[in-house]
Amino acid sequence: MNNNALKQILFLPIYKYKQDIINKINDENINVIIIIGETGCGKTTQVPKIIYENCSLENKMICITQPRRIAAISISERVSEEMNRRIGDLIGYSVRFKEKMSKKTKIKYVTDGMLIRECIIDRNLSKYKYIILDEIHERSIHTDILMMICKDLIINKKRKDLKLIIMSATLNPKKYMDYFNTNCLLKIEGRKYPVKVYNIEEDNNNNLINNNDSYYDYYDLISKYIDRCLNCILQIILSDKEENKEGDILVFLPGQEDIEDLQELLLNKKEEIKNELPGKKIEFMVLPLFGSLPSNQQMKIFRPIKNKFGKNIRKIILSTNIAETSLTIKNIKFVIDSGFFKKRKFYPKLNIDTLKIEPISKNSALQRSGRTGRESPGNCYRLYTKEEYNNFDENTEPEIKRINLRNTSLQLLSIGYNNLNNIDFIDKPPKENFNNAYEDLISLGALDKEENHKITELGKKMSILPIDPIYSIILINSLNDEYTEVFEDIVSIISVLQSDNIFYTPNSKKEIIEKLREKFIDPNSDHLTLRNIFKEYKNNKNKEEFCKENYLNDKALQKSMEIYQQIIGYLKKIKINEYKKDEEKEIKDKIEQIDRYLNGLKNLGTDNNEIKNKLIKECLITGYFNNISKYSGDNFFSTIKGNQLCKIHPTSVLIKNPKLGKQYGYLIFNEMIVTSKKYLKCCTLITSQQVEKYISKNRK
């Protein structure tokens, strides 16, 4: 980084408060510090540096959490650059299934989920002298849990030396000051550059959001906001005004489908403009950004793209709210905010997890506009009226109050928190959500039914795996002798499910692609189809070519491969722990034996696919038994738990063979998607005998 850029950093508003921050951190009587400052003032990148350079570390580390992977990775890279160090050296990051760290690392950016996993191994987080919980206003479930854990460490004097810094853009600090029983609040005033905010005009026709949300037509709504985004983008790029001729555009949309739709529309427009307005020299590149996009593709948004003359090409980034907080993307001059996001909500009585498009909160609107004005002045176009804005909620409902707590509960129990309903969270989840989680975990065998919901040995093993308990139980079961033959298949399937969407299917080529992929398809199972693809990929020497030929996402499969290796590593740990308990056995010998076992498995397995596939299905049922649905005529399936009538998702292989559903009678599904209808995604047909076999086995 050049000297001028480094000097610029010292002009960030946060530096006016540098001494104040240092004094508070060094004050023996203060354990919890709350820092609030406008977006872009320098909290996330500078506070860890200020601490590192001015406060004593006592051989410990500074840990900064982020709710999202992309932020943890990109910000740690930025800070390394500012400090002129290589990433993974002094400054590192750790996110699920990926880390860059070394013995020298002192400043560690992590996702909040990763820090919770560290608590399972070391409840006191003794590696860290300073823990910074960043972007707390986002109220991710993991950040809420970490607030609770850190409060417990400090208030109950388990870690007298720990300093907790909680940071956020805009929020009412009172709630947090009360929760942590602290008066120590630092408000950073000022931002570096102004952002002009525009709303659309008041007009009855302009109201997208009807206050009574059951009235609006879902599809009508979607096509309207996509249309508005398209028009707004076109107005900027076709404008003759000098100030609109340069600068990248960041558009916020609810989901991947919206992004892909708008991307296609924009590319068509590009052609149209070329043909109809040949005089206009318009060059732009559309970059999608959503959670399940492979991380190498996500990182593209940070790099400049040059044309053949070496000039920057204008970027139009279409993003979900994963870019809403934390990120600084260079050269964003325009933010376009659709005003919607996809909200996850769990209904325990029906056992359904829904993802619904809803209006954002005022706080989200502010965060979205804060993605510009970071390096120079910016503009934010809000595609909703001022009146609609006034009707937005102040904040988005905290995740902990609305999502499935199965995973979280298992983690809390393995950290050592026992009575989940009595934990001192900043906002308590509904009681029935914990009860539902207890129920699920008992039926998975992770908790003891009799003994006060104590975590079982199996539950402890499950918590070693950084994945949902549904999958960890399947993997642990696959270690049993009866599944030896299909062990590799099971790990393959679960690894692919943990990665991103491996299919790449542009709308225009749908038919050709379907023909190409026929060879992989198992007509009664999406899971087995995934297994077939992964197997081919694994054995293929020219992986890139293989993916290109079959329109598969190379990066996603590469990631599945990495996850596959890591899962094998975790399973090895589980096996070793089993032996450690048995003191008489020589551990070293045993480890070698395990290695032989895990490596040797590749050569096992019969050629009889029928038998193998049956075994695979049986092993999958051990985790998916709450996700069983029964055929109920007319291509509908009804869930056993919750009794919900659902259709098969159009991406499933089962769609092509509707007769099979009736023939088998049952299926297991990976997830339920709820839009205006309910769909089951990633399904495998099973027979009533298989369901009965599972039930009778489990009764024993």
Which residues form the interface with ligand ADP (CB under 6 A)? 12, 37, 39-46, 78, 328, 330, 374-375
- Options 31, 44, 408, 498; binder of Mg ion; rule CB under 5 A: 44
Which of the listed partners (ligand ADP, Mg ion, none) does 45 bind, with a CB threshold of 5 to 8 Å by partner kind?
ligand ADP
For Mg ion, the closer CB: 173 or 605? 173
Residue 70 half-sphere exposure, CB side, CA atoms within 13 Å? Answer: 25
**H/E segment holding residue 22:** helix 18-26
| Under rule CB under 5 A, residue 94 binds Mg ion | no
Which of the listed partners (Mg ion, ligand ADP, none) does 187 bind, with a CB threshold of 5 to 8 Å by partner kind?
none
Residues 6+ apart with CB under 8 A from 625: 443, 668, 694
For ligand ADP, the closer CB: 37 or 466? 37
Q: How far is the CB of 266 from ligand ADP (least distance, A)?
A: 25
Q: Return the amino acid letter for 428.
A: K
Question: Among the residues of 188-287, which ranges form H helices?
Answer: 218-237, 256-276
For Mg ion, the closer CB: 76 or 499? 76
For Mg ion, the closer CB: 46 or 622? 46
- Select the residue whose beta carbon is closest to Mg ion and give its number: 44
Question: Among the residues of 416-509, which ranges form H helices?
Answer: 431-443, 457-464, 469-478, 487-498
Which of the listed partners (Mg ion, ligand ADP, none) does 374 bind, with a CB threshold of 5 to 8 Å by partner kind?
ligand ADP
Are the CB atoms for 31 and 164 separated by under 8 Å? yes
Q: How far is the CB of 137 from Mg ion (least distance, A)?
A: 10
For ligand ADP, the closer CB: 363 or 670? 363
- Helices 688-699 + 609-624 axis angle, to 10: 60
For ligand ADP, the closer CB: 169 or 563? 169
**Residue 682, by phi and psi: left (phi above 0), alpha (psi -120 to 50) or beta?**
left
Which of the listed partners (Mg ion, ligand ADP, none) does 40 bind, with a CB threshold of 5 to 8 Å by partner kind?
ligand ADP
- CB burial of residue 386 (10 Å; 0-12, 13-18, 19+): exposed
Give CA–CA dist 564/693, Å, rounded: 29
| Token digits of residue 693 | 């076999």
Are the CB atoms for 158 and 416 separated by under 8 Å? no
User: How much is the CA Rg of the chain, to the nearest whole Å?
Assistant: 26
For Mg ion, the closer CB: 44 or 670? 44
Residues 6+ apart with CB under 8 A from 679: 646, 647, 648, 649, 650, 672, 673
Are the CB atoms for 232 and 336 separated by under 8 Å? yes
Give CA–CA dist 313/320, Å, rounded: 22
Which of the listed partners (Mg ion, ligand ADP, none) does 42 bind, with a CB threshold of 5 to 8 Å by partner kind?
ligand ADP
- Options 66, 140, 182, 326; binder of Mg ion; rule CB under 5 A: 326
For ligand ADP, the closer CB: 82 or 578? 82
Q: How far is the CB of 285 from ligand ADP (least distance, A)?
A: 19
The interface mask with Mg ion, positions 552-591, x = CB under 5 A, is ----------------------------------------
Q: How far is the CB of 480 from ligand ADP (least distance, A)?
A: 48
| Under rule CB under 5 A, residue 182 binds Mg ion | no
Are the CB atoms for 186 and 38 separated by under 8 Å? no
Which of the listed partners (ligand ADP, Mg ion, none) does 330 bind, with a CB threshold of 5 to 8 Å by partner kind?
ligand ADP
Q: How far is the CB of 174 from ligand ADP (least distance, A)?
A: 21
For Mg ion, the closer CB: 327 or 420? 327
For ligand ADP, the closer CB: 45 or 414? 45
Residues in the interface with Mg ion (CB under 5 A) total 3
| Under rule CB under 5 A, residue 472 binds Mg ion | no
Which of the listed partners (ligand ADP, Mg ion, none) does 398 bind, with a CB threshold of 5 to 8 Å by partner kind?
none
Residues 6+ apart with CB under 8 A from 270: 282, 284
For Mg ion, the closer CB: 43 or 49? 43
Residues 6+ apart with CB under 8 A from 316: 233, 237, 248, 249, 251, 266, 284, 285, 286, 287
Q: Tell me which residues in 21-40 interact with Mg ion (CB under 5 A).
A: none
Q: How far is the CB of 156 from ligand ADP (least distance, A)?
A: 30
Q: How far is the CB of 469 from Mg ion (least distance, A)?
A: 32
Q: How far is the CB of 500 from Mg ion (least distance, A)?
A: 25
| Token digits of residue 612 | 């193998």
Are the CB atoms for 321 and 363 separated by under 8 Å? no
For ligand ADP, the closer CB: 90 or 273? 90
Q: How far is the CB of 91 from Mg ion (least distance, A)?
A: 16
Own/partner pairs, 103-106, CB within 8 angstroms, 24+ separation: 105/61, 106/52, 106/57, 106/61, 106/62
**Other CB atoms closer than 10 Å to residue 102's CB: what's the count?**
10
Which of the listed partners (ligand ADP, Mg ion, none) does 12 bind, with a CB threshold of 5 to 8 Å by partner kind?
ligand ADP
**Residue 450, by phi and psi: left (phi above 0), alpha (psi -120 to 50) or beta?**
alpha
Q: How far is the CB of 580 from ligand ADP (least distance, A)?
A: 44
| Token digits of residue 465 | 């795996």
Q: How far is the CB of 295 from ligand ADP (least distance, A)?
A: 16
For Mg ion, the closer CB: 119 or 131? 131
Are the CB atoms for 318 and 286 separated by under 8 Å? yes
Which listed range, 318-326, 376-384, 486-494, 610-618, lies at the site for Mg ion (CB under 5 A)? 318-326
Residue ranges binding Mg ion (CB under 5 A) = 43-44, 326
